[in-house]
Amino acid sequence: MRANAAAQLLRCLEEEGVEVIFGYPGGAVLPIYDALVDAPIRHVLVRHEQGAVHAADGYARASGRVGVCLATSGPGATNLVTGLATAYMDSVPVVAITGQVARPLVGSDAFQEADVVGITRATTKHNYAVTRPAELPRVVHEAFHLARSGRPGPVLIDLPKDVTLADGPFPHPQAPPSRRGYRPRLEPDPAEVEAAAAALAGAQRPVVMVGGGIIHGGAAGELRRFLETTGFPAVSTLMGLGALPADDPRHLGLVGMHGTYAANRAVSQADLVLGLGLRFDDRVTGNASRFAPRARIVHVDIDPSEIGKNVRADVAVLGDLIRVLPRLLERLLAVWAASGRPDPAPWWEALRSWQAHQGWDLHTPMELGGEEGRPLRPQGVIQQVARVAGPEAIVATDVGQHQMWTALLFPFRRPRQLITSGGLGTMGYGLPAAIGAQMAEPERPVWLVTGDGSFQMNVQEMATAVNYGLPLRVVIVDNRSLGMVRQWQELFHQARYSAVMLEPLPDWVRLAEAYGWQGWKVERAAELEPALAALAEARGPALVDVVVDAQENVFPMVPAGAALDEVLLENPGGRSPRPAQASPRRAGVGQPAG
């Protein structure tokens, strides 16, 4: 057992409860890798540092614990940048440790020197350059605290090689860490709660927007109680999916650009919007100046800088949702008890009619195709995957059409079930994130729904999955193209296709075999079920390559810049989402359905 700072670092990580590190070695971190030989912490050797940070992120999202990754200086560290930005956008607690050249060399363009603290300043919640070995324990302790408290996020620690080689003493940090400049407000101000309750109490057409903050804050139980008691309808952002079970009758589904007709209509017509832990992203609001034009907006968030950032907040409640929701409910019930509550029936009547207007939802069996020479249709395929994966599965996605179909058609039932890159929309996220999720939750099946474009962006991590015996179940929604970009070119660039066709593509089954995976290809409906069954049963990592219709587009869609009620429900010209055995819809082609 060594007694240097590298060994101390690992002891500090243990104290923080770290069980696994995703990393990749190199010169500047050799002392840390040396210390790992004796440490009880498990190290997962990824095949690219981007894989390490996405895996740490997937680990964190699946478990709620801090994910940890490790990379060498220079190229190792710069390879983390996309993953840090991904975690930062989605408020994921990750601690990244990077090697740095020895202190005397800093600033000299030494071999594999990069200003990582400078480069990652805008993609981390905070970062540190450790310049004195004695401060290492305090820095590590504080880094974990920052990563997981308040609004979570990634924190980076840059460690010069000579620091990691230095000997102690290493004074034990004070617990809990205190930084006078960092004091997240958790407890809400009673006056703010009262104002929110007063606004809610009089609402005739309220709608609750469920955001990622409910999941970050572990407040799904409080949310359920709030909705059960109030009977308010709710919509979810992409990051909020799972906080409220998909089959909850009050849930109108995904809101925003690819949200359901009912969810977007509800927000557009509401007289009160209660936003719970969301940052009103432009993918959620559509044209922000025309967002919820008839509503007073009550915004609950832990981060003061989110209040009023993208949309006005008529009432703001600053605090941790797990504390805010019970208080808000209590005050709201008190106001109702005193002055009565408006009749919710007319609002629900309107909401139910909008649900019917779309003609399908995630419970409607969608057309599968794949018969008589017709191609498989991705919506039906995703539903089939959902059935086989079952309610226990964790589902990761990549970025693109397959991600949106998964969001729309997968019946998410619990927090941390969906692992997806929302804010940055990072292609290549899915496979390493699934690896991290499987490490965090070894008992749960982990499925990945990916695209033929995204999967190639971190395909090297197939080796990692084999290396650690992780039985990932991967479904490639194979449309031979960058489907989401192709969709935009079709709809908004007069079908002038430019750089979206991906052929030649690898033979996915042979690629699977080359990596030591199992693989099956599916082109027809009859092959799908047996292949998915084999996938579910596979002992190691495996994939199914499902060849689908390349012309398919994701609907509903609110074009960028339009208001939420200016929604396209189907293709102006081409194929449209169709329930199985239903006749094609006629209404609303290409025009605002509002």
Partner 1 sequence: MEFALAVRVENEPGVLARVASLVSRRGFNIESLAVGPTEDASVSRITLVCKGDERDRERLRRQLEKLVEVLEAWHVPGESSVRRELALVRVRADPGRRAELLQVAGIFRSRVVHVDRSALVLETTGDPEKIQAWLEVLRDFGIEEVARTGIVALDRERRAVPQAEFESREEAAF
Ligand X SMILES: Cc1cc2nc3c(=O)[nH]c(=O)nc-3n(C[C@H](O)[C@H](O)[C@H](O)COP(=O)(O)OP(=O)(O)OC[C@H]3O[C@@H](n4cnc5c(N)ncnc54)[C@H](O)[C@@H]3O)c2cc1C
Ligand Y SMILES: Cc1ncc(C[n+]2csc(CCOP(=O)(O)OP(=O)(O)O)c2C)c(N)n1
Per DSSP, 562 falls in state S
CB of 216 to ligand X, least distance (A): 4
The residues assigned a catalytic role are 49, 111-112, 161, 484
* Residue of 55, 114, 130, 146 interacting with partner 1 (CB under 8 A): 146
Rounded to whole angstroms, the Cα distance separating 487 from 273 reads 31
CB of 51 to ligand X, least distance (A): 19
Measured from the CB atom, is 484 or 564 closer to ligand Y? 484
Cα dist from 30 to 112, 164, 355, whole Å: 14, 9, 58
Per rule CB under 6 A, is residue 430 in the interface with ligand Y?
A: no
CB of 520 to ligand X, least distance (A): 27
**C-beta neighbour count of 172 within 10 angstroms:** 11
Per DSSP, 557 falls in state B
CB of 440 to ligand X, least distance (A): 18
The amino acid present at 391, given as its one-letter code, is P
Look at the alpha carbons of 370, 371, 375, 379 in this order and tell me if their dihedral is positive or negative.
negative
Stretch that binds ligand X, among 19-27, 125-133, 225-233, 421-429 (CB under 6 A): 421-429
The amino acid present at 587, given as its one-letter code, is A
Site for partner 1 in 275-314 (CB under 8 A): 303-305, 307-309
* Residue of 230, 397, 417, 426 interacting with ligand Y (CB under 6 A): 426
> Looking only at Cα atoms, what is the longest distance across the chain?
76
Per rule CB under 6 A, is residue 302 in the interface with ligand X?
A: yes
Bridge partner list, 98: 71, 158
Per rule CB under 8 A, is residue 353 in the interface with partner 1?
A: no
Per DSSP, 200 falls in state H
Per rule CB under 6 A, is residue 454 in the interface with ligand Y?
A: yes
CB 418 within 8 A of CB 433: no
> H helices then E strands: how many in the chain?
22, 18
Binding mask 484-503 for ligand Y (x = CB under 6 A): xx------------------
* Residue of 69, 147, 278, 409 interacting with ligand X (CB under 6 A): 278
CB 543 within 8 A of CB 517: yes
Token couple for 473: 């179940």
Per rule CB under 6 A, is residue 256 in the interface with ligand X?
A: yes
* Residue of 42, 132, 183, 510 interacting with partner 1 (CB under 8 A): 183
Per rule CB under 6 A, is residue 388 in the interface with ligand Y?
A: no
Rounded to whole angstroms, the Cα distance separating 157 from 32 reads 13
Backbone φ and ψ of 132, nearest 5°? -130, 125
CB 544 within 8 A of CB 476: yes
Site for partner 1 in 149-168 (CB under 8 A): 149
* Residue of 30, 45, 117, 509 interacting with partner 1 (CB under 8 A): 117
Q: How many residues bind partner 1 (CB under 8 A)?
A: 30
Per rule CB under 6 A, is residue 401 in the interface with ligand Y?
A: yes
Nearest to 214 by CA among 94, 84, 302: 302
Nearest to 476 by CA among 435, 505, 433, 440: 505
Instruction: State the residues that interact with ligand Y by CB under 6 A.
Output: 398-402, 425-428, 451-454, 477, 479, 481-485
Instruction: State the residues that interact with ligand X by CB under 6 A.
Output: 90-91, 151, 211-213, 216-217, 237-240, 254-259, 277-279, 281, 283-284, 301-303, 306, 320-321, 399, 403-404, 422-423, 425, 484
Instruction: State the residues that interact with partner 1 by CB under 8 A.
Output: 117-118, 121-122, 125-126, 129, 131, 145-146, 149, 176-187, 189, 303-305, 307-309
